[in-house]
Each structure stands twice: as structure tokens, then as C-alpha cells.
Amino acid sequence: MTRKQASSTRRLSGVLHSKSNSSPLLSITLVLLGVFLLIIYACGGGSGIFGGKKDVVSRVEGDFSCTFEVLSAIPVLKNAYGGNMKNVLHIGPETCSVVSKFLREVETEAWGVEPCDIEDADRNCKALVQKGIVRVADIKFPLPYRAKSFTHVIVSDTLDYLSPKYLNKTLPELVRVSADGIIIFTGYPGQRKAKVAQLSKFGRPAKMRTSAWWKQFVTEISLEENEPAIKKFEQAASKASYKPTCQIFHLNSYH
């Protein structure tokens, strides 16, 4: 072997040896990079294993909805109110989702009032409307139901858009059609801002009010909080490790 060939062989051997030493480090770096990208993907609401977090992330960033909170709270509500929650009226955007979930519950009947246009609704929702289970109506006007038509009325993401002038009429109307109570799901102050789509549906931005404001308003219009229901709901929520992200008020029906 010539001197030149020997020199070339040593250089090649050195390069291969260097690559062999750096291989474990390169593998570790690639693994860490993959884990980092997976975390970013999951936090961004990607599909797959972490896809279930997508709704939570989007709602926290501004697309938050107390109607989604109702869906999560249904098992707790059923435990708190027991077998009395048999005939439910839900009022609020996306009511078809809430009604559909209640209808899947054993011995539970449900109806809904959608205060927004449903042109973009899916076939299931339009079918509920055609059957008369869900109605599209402006809740600033009297509801087309007789007094005590439902055991319970649940309202979400709707009262936040009403001024006290209309609340004075709407809230007693919701209580009128309930026999055993009304449950209000409302946002916390500073929790979100209304998007353009919401403004076009309701005509005004949502006004998030404090718990103290709601309690004073309820007292002023001669309504009472349902203390036994509040305690049972808190107990059921604690047992289920359920922590609401919306304010929830339980009111008595008229007797």
C-alpha cells in the first residue's frame, strides 16, 4: 500500500469512527425533538390521542361556551336532582347537542329552544326541529308553553346577552314554565369577549355579570335560590371531581 493510500484509509477510518461516536447523541437529539413537537401538537389541539383537548383549548382562547359546560354537567345534575329531572327544557345556542344527550339518558324527556339561526345546523338538529322537539324562538317574547310544562329549565349562553330590561321579563317566563326549578349557566366577568359571529346572532356583546349581581337581581324580581338543590349539586360535583368553569345558579319555581 502506498503512503497516499494509507493516509486516505486513516482519514476514512477517522470519519467513520467520529460518526459512530456521534450516533447515540444524534439519536437522543432526534427523540427529544420528536417529543417536543408532539407536545406542541397536543397543545395546539391536534387529532389522535390528544384530540380530546381540542375543545378545551379553543374555548379557553375565546370560543368558550357555557352550553358545552351543560353537556359536562348533565351527570352531576342528574345525581343532584335525582329522578325528578325527567322533563327538561334547555334554552341556548347549540341546544340540539344538549337535547340529544338528554334523550340518550334513561327516562329523560327533553326539548330545546334555539335563540339563534340554525341554517348551518347538521341533519340531526334539523330533524329535531322538524319533529318540534327543538324550536327556534326569540326568548325576549313569551314562550309557547303552558305553565309548569317542564320539571326543569336549563338556560345557557343566552341571558348574558339580555339587558336588565328584558331579563325582568325573560327570567320569570323561564321560571313560569318550570315545575321544580331553573338552572342558569352563565360566564364569569372577563371570561370571554363576543366574536363577530355571536354579535350577528344576538345583536349585542355578551355582558358577564358577577355572582353578587345575579343574586341581587334574582332577589329584586322576587325569585329565590334553591338552597337544597345547591347543596346536593355541590356534593355531587365534589364526588365526581367536577369543577365548573361557568357560574351555575339554581332557582326555585313558582309555587
**One domain for residues 120 and 155:** yes
- Let me know if residue 160 belongs to a domain: yes
CA-closest candidate to residue 87, choices 71, 73, 103: 103
Note the pLDDT of residue 191. 65
CATH of the domain at 155: 3.40.50.150
**One domain for residues 145 and 244:** yes
- Let me know if residue 181 belongs to a domain: yes
**One domain for residues 160 and 232:** yes
Here the cell at position 251 is 332557582
**One domain for residues 245 and 190:** yes
**One domain for residues 122 and 214:** yes
How far is the C-alpha of 119 from the C-alpha of 132, rounded, in Å? 16
**One domain for residues 11 and 105:** no
Note the pLDDT of residue 38. 44
pLDDT tens, the chain, 255 aa long: 544 444 544 444 454 444 445 566 666 666 566 545 544 433 333 333 223 333 332 233 344 689 999 999 999 999 999 888 889 999 998 899 999 999 987 678 999 999 877 777 788 898 999 999 999 988 889 999 999 999 999 999 999 889 888 999 999 999 999 999 999 999 988 765 444 444 445 556 778 899 999 999 999 999 999 999 999 999 999 999 999 999 999 999 976
CB 58 within 8 A of CB 45: yes
pTM (2 d.p.): 0.72
**One domain for residues 241 and 200:** yes
| List of residues 6+ apart from 137 with CB closer than 8 A | 113, 114, 115, 143, 144
**One domain for residues 132 and 36:** no
- Let me know if residue 199 belongs to a domain: yes
How far is the C-alpha of 134 from the C-alpha of 112, rounded, in Å? 4
- Let me know if residue 223 belongs to a domain: yes
Note the pLDDT of residue 192. 55
**One domain for residues 153 and 230:** yes
Note the pLDDT of residue 205. 72
| Structural domain containing residue 75 | 62-251
Note the pLDDT of residue 60. 33
- Let me know if residue 165 belongs to a domain: yes
Note the pLDDT of residue 34. 59
Q: Domain count of the chain? A: 2
- Let me know if residue 103 belongs to a domain: yes
**One domain for residues 174 and 85:** yes
- Let me know if residue 53 belongs to a domain: no
- Let me know if residue 149 belongs to a domain: yes
**One domain for residues 162 and 68:** yes
**One domain for residues 149 and 196:** yes
